[in-house]
Structure 1
């Protein structure tokens, strides 16, 4: 897969959720993870069973203005708002840092203003931080990764094959 991505959260209150998010990010190949306005101790992250913070950089920024991303890296907020782009319609930037809000609140207005994009997972209510992050990271690798196309149906062809009917060539439409 081309490019890179990072995963982070603002004002995280549940260290276990961030540990799970970091572990999942590590599993999906995140280049780094980060927090804003929440200092975490590595020893507190018992849910991070892959020791992510020893395998990828972790940045702890005190306030939104402290965030320093690499050149051309786009900040993508994940927030359930009316005007956010729904994840299935979102084209992931090649270089992105995804940020989620706290468990019991939303991304701060300062972070929202800094974001290049705001996306949402099309659910009827907010999800757990680690779950939401995992869904976005999976969508990123599914759309930007180099995977074979999905079959049209289970056990079926990837693309409909032409069939001959009374001398004319037509395309079979799978059910």
Structure 2
């Protein structure tokens, strides 16, 4: 049986201006377990994660970008940038159809995504939740949702 590489898809997930190294480590561990192709940070940089007990950084590509502009320049050409943010223009995750090639971007709990990032995102998704969630929990839910529903052609 021959697989068509264009049908397989991929996804990456990362945090803009992450607040704590613990949250990042938990997200990386979830990313490895839930099939992410790569992980990244924008802004604050953490070298070692106490919560990354599976050593995800050694098992998948990790990229760090000093600024959102630097990150956006390196966004894969075929991927849609999906911001995870409470916003009036966000689609509800419960009804969201994940693209085959996606890069999910999360913001820190205290500030969320920057206005520049929100404007640049192809799509925004949000949870049916009254308050914001821990960034590692939010990212894990998005990845689990993707795995459960599968992906669609955009």
TM-score, normalising length: structure 2 = 0.89
1:93-126 Cα shifts (integer Å, max 9, x gaps): 1000101101211100111111110100111110
Task: Answer with 1 or 2: which has the greater Rg.
Answer: 1
Q: 1: distance between equivalents of 2:118 and 2:89?
A: 12
TM-score, with normalisation over the residues of structure 1? 0.79
Gaps of 5+ in 2: 1-6
By how many angstroms is 1:71 displaced? 1.9
Runs of 4+ in 1 over 4 A off after TM superposition: none
What is the alpha-carbon distance in structure 2 between the residues aligned to residue 53 and residue 114 of structure 1?
27
Task: Show the 5 A alignment for 1:60-79.
Answer: 60-67=64-71, 68-79=74-85
Report the Cα distance in structure 2 between the residues aligned to 1:95 and 1:82, rounded to whole angstroms: 24
Pick the structure with more helix per residue.
2
Structure 1 residue runs of 5 or longer lacking an equivalent are 146-175
Please provide the CA RMSD for this pair. 1.2
Which of 132, 138, 141 is residue 138 of structure 2 equivalent to? 132
Task: Kindly indicate whether structure 1 or structure 2 has the higher relative contact order, using CA contacts under 8 Å at least 6 residues apart.
Answer: 2
Q: Does 1:80 pair with 2:86? A: yes
